[in-house]
A = this chain, B = another copy of it.
Amino acid sequence: MNGKLYAVIMAGGVGSRLWPRSRTGTPKQFLDLLGSRTLLQETVARIEPLIPLPRILVVVSRELAAEVHSQVPGLPDENVLLEPGPRNTAPCIGLAAVVLQQRDPAATMAVFPADHSIAQAAGLRQAIAAADRLARRGYLVTLGVTPDQPHVGYGYIQRGDPIGDDDGLSAYRVRRFAEKPDLATAQQFVESGEYYWNAGIFVWRVDRIRAEIERCLPALHAELDHVGAAWGSTRQSEVLAGAWDRVPRISIDYGVMEKAAQVAVLPVNIGWSDVGNWATLSELAEEDGHGNAVHGQGRHLLLDTSDSYVYTSAGRLVAAVGLAGWIVVDTPDALLICPKDRAQAVKEIVERLKAEKQDQYL
């Protein structure tokens, strides 16, 4: 399997913005938010025609490992990497790189968040294959989603000079990464035609990312070296746990990509969404003639209701009158009612529940 392309799916996230469906024990990536399959299952299914299961790794917490095996039967045990705790993306990716490098020193790895939605799976695979070719030339490649609106919830990537390619590939060197902008800045970005959304999907050779981690995050690199030395031995878990006590909590974007050499952006138009909150999700859901999307196993009865998203639970009935632009998420033990344009406030609800130690609802 020398020099093969691997997938690394990061499934350790515990977001709060899709509460009350997303909970500590079943975060967003494990939920069937947009169809009959979960976001993790969709992530695997999209990439599997290009990268078969034996070359797909999932990084997840110990608590959620059983859920991964249950949702992705056939995934080899050794392909589920157990992170001792959440440390943001740089340590997570570093761990996968260390493990892959031992299996296949010339490997390339494509990194995917487990909880995004991509409508055009064939387009994604085509882009990953192209990115793989760039990666083999030494580039750290990030997919850049062509923006269709001045979204303020995403990070942006500004392109620089084009990168030549025999296949007529339209990739660019990255000029800079930009944090989530304000609306005016986002509008400038979109109008310029030079900016892309940072989808958090990366492709690179494992030796290249390890070298950049060494240069940009030497403390993380040192810990990863310890982990690598103990990997496969009886001390593996112990060394990993110790390293994870010390590694910096930092994102790969901020910690590495912004400073690394030979960074490329590959523009894509593949129907990508981070499914970041209930309003985003409702945009992806199929709507009836009144702009309503109704999901779930329960019943509903909507009078004079439009442009709303309703989730119902088995055995329960949601009856509503006069909703326009609302989100209603009715789970067995908790109900959310929120205007679509206040979807970000769900995060505040979860923080309040944490502060009040209402753990049963988290």
**Which residues of A are at the interface with B, using a C-beta cutoff of 8 A?**
20, 299, 301, 303-304, 315-323, 326, 328, 330, 333-339, 342, 345-346, 348-349, 352-353, 358, 361
With both beta carbons as reference points, the residue of chain B lying nearest to A330 in the complex is identified as B335
Query: Given the complex, which residues of B lie within 8 Å of A328, measured CB to CB?
Result: 335, 337
Can you report 16 residue pairs joining A to B where beta carbons are below 8 Å apart? Answer: A20-B319, A301-B349, A301-B352, A303-B345, A303-B349, A316-B333, A316-B335, A317-B334, A319-B336, A319-B349, A320-B337, A321-B345, A322-B338, A322-B339, A330-B335, A337-B337
Q: For residue A319, which residues in chain B have a CB less than 8 angstroms away from its CB?
A: 20, 334-337, 349
Alpha-carbon separation in the docked complex, A317 to B321 (Å): 21
- Inside 8 A of A303's CB, which chain B residues have their CB? 345, 348-349
Task: Report the separation of the CA atoms of residues A303 and B347 in the bound assembly, to the nearest whole angstrom.
Answer: 12
Roughly how many angstroms separate A218 CA and B154 CA in the complex, as a whole number? Answer: 79
A345 to B303, CA, bound (A): 8
* Interfacial chain B residues near A299, Cβ < 8 Å: 358, 361
Q: In angstroms, how far is the closest chain B Cβ from the Cβ of A228?
A: 45
Q: How far is the CB of A350 from chain B (nearest CB, A)?
A: 9
Copies of this chain held together in the complex? 2
Besides the contacts A303-B349, A320-B338, A321-B342, what 5 more A-B pairs have beta carbons closer than 8 Å?
A20-B317, A315-B333, A317-B358, A321-B338, A321-B339
On chain B, the residues within 8 Å of A342 by CB distance are 304, 321-322
Expressed in whole angstroms, the minimum distance between the Cβ of A126 and any Cβ of chain B is 41
Closest CB in chain B relative to A323 CB, distance in Å? 7
**A335 B317 Cβ-Cβ under 8 A:** yes
- Selected from B320, B358, B361, the residue in CB contact (under 8 A) with A336 is B320
Residues of B contacting A358 with CB < 8 Å? 299, 317
Complex: A348 Cα to B361 Cα, angstroms: 33
CA distance A265 to B361 in the complex (A): 55
Q: Give the distance in Å from the alpha carbon of A346 to the alpha carbon of B320 in the complex.
A: 9
A335 and B333: CB pair below 8 A?
no
Chain B residues, CB < 8 A from A321: 337-339, 342, 345-346, 349
In the bound complex, what is the Cα–Cα distance between A222 and B181 (angstroms)? 83
For A343, give the chain B residue with the smallest CB separation: B321
A316 cross-chain contacts in B, Cβ below 8 A: 333-335
CB distance from A293 to the nearest CB of B (A): 16
> In the bound complex, what is the Cα–Cα distance between A93 and B79 (angstroms)?
78
For A338, the closest partner residue in chain B by CB is: B321
